Structure 1
Amino acid sequence: MERKTTTVDDNASLIERRSIDFIPDAERHGNLFSQFTLWFGANLQVTAVVVGALAVVLGGDVFWSLIGLLIGQVIGGAVMALHGAQGPQLGLPQMISSRVQFGVYGAIVPLVLVCVMYIGFSAGGTVLAGQAVGELLHTDNTTSILIFSALVVLLTGLGYRIIHTMGRVSSIVGTLAFLYLFASLLHGHALDSLLANRHFTVASFLLAVSLSASWQIAYGPYVADYSRYLPKSTSALRTFLAVFSGTVIGAQVSMTFGVLAAALAGERFSGHEVAFIVGLGATGAIAAVLYFTIALGKLTITTLNAYGSVMSVAAIVTGFGGQREISARTRFVFVLLSVAASSGLALLGQHSFLKAFSSFLLFLLVFFTPWSAINLVDYYWVTRERYDVPALFDVDGRYGRWNLAGITVYAIGVLVQMPFVATGFYTGPWVDALGGVDVSWIVGIVVPGVLYYAVSRFAGSHAPERLIVPGPMTDAD
């Protein structure tokens, strides 16, 4: 069938045409600052505030909670940014590269779990956003959730460019809002007196580290989705630093506010986060701005979640069908299905269901740390960035249908974490001995990472001599 070549007008279109297919050089655009603003803005949001507050609510002091959170940000942010640095080199969404380690069919296992997790995270964010939208527009929760979901469909449907624009807007609005919130929260309180109250315990410190590290690692399955359009000549190190600094600084700002709010407000904050934050506004106009800021922050991250889940669904479907891409119409259908699923869960979980489901989602993180370790070890130390991109879409190609070695290591990586898991959904038998702290993410990175490297060295690498990418690309039929 005849195919048309990409034009400048196509390139400048606001509506994204690509899906999981390779982004050719002629369509690469953007700069590293957009990576910083995207992840900085995505982390200036109420859920990150709540995560930071948990470090104090669950027994930590202010000083060591802040130190522990920062260490966790650095560790988890490094893992996350290493995934992000793959984007410009491969020109592909993050999870497609899993076909190297698991096979074209085998990669569907982590892909399905990714879809479940991000749809669930979107549902939780939609509930909080619905509350903010309701206060802003004076509508009931159900109507507010539907309005918010419609915006997510629109932005996700438009795709990559609009998502990065959202990141820039969220960075500006979020920075101004948090400056005001910190000033209001600390008015009449001496920060040095809060920091002077120190009672270090290993359990509380490890909890703070685990909270922020897990927060960052959860971005891993889709971070390269938002860097894959950068020019191929973009430095991997500079990409890493842009993503790393944006996500670490943004999350640490939000979590620091959560720590201070929990320490100063106690029960007035815990369980009433949105109301407390807006209550700092003092006047109706400022309160409205804060509701808007909360809704905007959740809109940014929920759009990221929806877009990432759509890429994962597309990767599953094309894995079975042997396709290299999907049409814009099919992608929009996937957007509708993804947002409908998260919105339905949000409507069901406005009250009690969502709390239990959130515990289940945190449990799902157990399945992503070994995936992350395997993917990074393979890319940076085994294949050393030498992927055969066309073979990722060929079940009879270099990577085959199933990679039993990768799947076996992945299964072991999941199982070895079970004794260390501490969630409302499941708690492992060794958690009590560790003071109730979940350190499964550490085990889930180290064990499968080392094991995969050893297995790969023994079996030998099937990597090509250099990175192989498709020839000149054209539009879909």
Structure 2
Amino acid sequence: MTTTPSPTSSAALEGHGVERAGHPETRGIDLVPAEERAGRPRQLFAVWAAPNVSYLSFAVGGTLILMGLTLPQAVTVILAGNLLWICTGILAASGPAAGTSGSVISRAFYGVMGNKIVLVLTGWLMAAAYLALNWSAASVAGIALAGRMGLPRGSAVDAAVICLIAGVTLLIAIYGYATIVRLYAALSVLLTVVFIVVTGYVLAEADWSYAPARPLGGTALLASLGIGFTLVASTPLSYSNSPDLARYLPRDSSPFAVAGWTALGAYLPSAGFTAVGALAATSLDMSDPERALESILPGWFVPVFVIAVVVNTMTNNGMTAYSASLSVQSVGVRLARIPSVLTIGVLGTAMTLYAILVFDFLTSVNTMLQLVVVVTGPAMAVAVTDLVVRRNRYNGADLLRQEHGGPFWYHRGVHWPGVVALVTGGLASLTWVTTSFWTGPLARAAGGVDLAIVSGMAVSALVYWAAVRVLRTVPRC
């Protein structure tokens, strides 16, 4: 039940009212008061489904077959890699508990000052890189559609398409939480319908008896399975922003329901459509996913598919830009949330222009997805471990205190167990990662087997748990 805040409520004193769909969100990282919290955990299903009805899933699924995996092997990797959405769901449960953004909650594991340094990497640069990755996917499709409409090909038109897509995406982030919840509920249905139609045509063309010309075995098979797992699992690991979309729920919301609806909403479309991409590659050349899929679609449906790809990317990046703007504030930059959105948007747009006009799209996608897990895997492991150790007991008011001697100041503003766990996990992951331009020494010694995610997350979780137990920096709840 939603209550109407009185004129003397904390929301009124801070200049905030109840956030409404269709109006720019005014709240930044400040605490969401109880009278402005409403909704049920199940609404998170559509919020997470819409951005994961994704064209990139088709591309990643196709890549698994191009790597030499059989269809059963590819599907096994897809189902296993997407299980890491459970981590995203668990992290979402801290949103209602704290009532503030994930970039503030992370002060609990890195300290007030340590968190600022970590957020520059995970909240700014990483967010801008993912904006560029997804905008690149949309831009490839949008540029092709512009060509179908008779517009001349060239860098100027390409840049205009990229900037248009980026501009509309940033509007979603500016309008914020209430608009995202309302809009994504409808878009998740529409996008699913379009992608199911595409799936129907893929199933009709799929070679169910497909076998690679040279089946992999031994170390070569293990290497491909490891790289494939890293590609698939990199997506859920990138969503450390799940508390941001859950913080407006009532504090007494079931953490199991919050975690479950978040994970399920992301898992089902991500796993399903990545598997469709693998099926498509049994009969199509998925080295150019857009052209391959368009070749089996009727002409009238191709523009519908392209528009769906662009819209899906906007939903994905709308969430990313929204959370990145909160990270900017959490670091201490004195910008309101909307200028923060624009700042991150400009950086992401610049990276997109470089990726599209300079690099090959699919190469950019695969390289980035394999490499970012060196940071995102350990960061996710630290966050989930802290939540488990604290039993999800976060106090938003305490987290927002940044003064010397505050509850999350720790030692000179740094919580060393979190920082050391992140660094050691990252180093462990780096030794096991395999990309087109860097192979870690342990991965090289093992014949190219990629264990970046498993090693990085295991080391970070173990180091953090052991350190807080020995140093007693986290109170036992």
TM-score bracket for the superposition, by shorter chain length: 0.7 to 0.9
Q: Secondary structure of 1:289's partner?
A: helix
Alignment match, 1:468: none
Question: Is residue 345 of structure 2 the alignment partner of residue 345 of structure 1?
Answer: no
AA of the residue aligned to 1:281: L
Distance in 1, matches of 2:74 and 2:44, equals 28
8 Å CA contact retained: 2:324, 2:344:
yes
CA-to-aligned-CA distance 1:303-347 (integer Å, 9 cap, x gap): 1121121111111126xx7xxxx6xxx211111111111112222
1:431 CA drift (Å)? 1.5
AA of the residue aligned to 1:248: Y
Partner residue of 1:146 out of 163, 166, 169: 163
Runs (4+) of structure 1 exceeding 6 A deviation are: 195-200
Distance in 1, matches of 2:73 and 2:369, equals 27
Report matched runs for 1:71-470 at 5 Å.
Answer: 71-74=80-83, 76-114=84-122, 115-136=124-145, 138=149, 139=151, 140-187=157-204, 189=206, 191=208, 193-194=209-210, 201-219=221-239, 221-265=240-284, 268-270=285-287, 272-283=288-299, 285-317=300-332, 330-353=336-359, 359=367, 362-381=370-389, 383-392=390-399, 393-396=401-404, 397-400=406-409, 401-463=413-475
Q: 1:173 to 1:244 in 2, by over 3 A?
A: same
AA of the residue aligned to 1:231: P
Q: 1:402 to 1:190 in 2, by over 3 A?
A: closer
Where do 5+ consecutive residues of structure 2 fail to align? Answer: 1-6, 152-156
Q: 1:119 to 1:68 in 2, by over 3 A?
A: same
Where do 5+ consecutive residues of structure 1 fail to align? Answer: 466-477
CA-to-aligned-CA distance 1:345-381 (integer Å, 9 cap, x gap): 2222223347676535642321222222122112212
Q: If the length of structure 1 is used for normalisation, what is the TM-score?
A: 0.87
Alignment match, 2:58: 49
Distance in 2, matches of 1:448 and 1:29, equals 35
AA of the residue aligned to 1:216: P
AA of the residue aligned to 1:39: W
Cα root mean square deviation, aligned:
2.6
8 Å CA contact retained: 1:310, 1:338:
yes
8 Å CA contact retained: 1:420, 1:440:
yes
Distance in 2, matches of 1:243 and 1:32, equals 8
Distance in 2, matches of 1:385 and 1:273, equals 42
Alignment match, 1:472: none
Alignment match, 2:3: none
1:235 CA drift (Å)? 0.5
Q: Secondary structure of 1:249's partner?
A: helix
8 Å CA contact retained: 2:468, 2:474:
no
Q: If the length of structure 2 is used for normalisation, what is the TM-score?
A: 0.87
8 Å CA contact retained: 2:20, 2:178:
no
1:395 CA drift (Å)? 3.1
Distance in 2, matches of 1:412 and 1:187, equals 48
Q: 1:196 to 1:456 in 2, by over 3 A?
A: same
Question: Is residue 33 of structure 2 the alignment partner of residue 21 of structure 1?
Answer: no
Distance in 1, matches of 2:196 and 2:407, equals 52
Alignment match, 2:4: none
Alignment match, 2:76: 67
Q: Secondary structure of 2:283's partner?
A: helix
Q: 1:432 to 1:36 in 2, by over 3 A?
A: same
Distance in 1, matches of 2:223 and 2:439, equals 16
Name the % identity.
23
Q: 1:354 to 1:107 in 2, by over 3 A?
A: farther
Q: 1:26 to 1:95 in 2, by over 3 A?
A: same
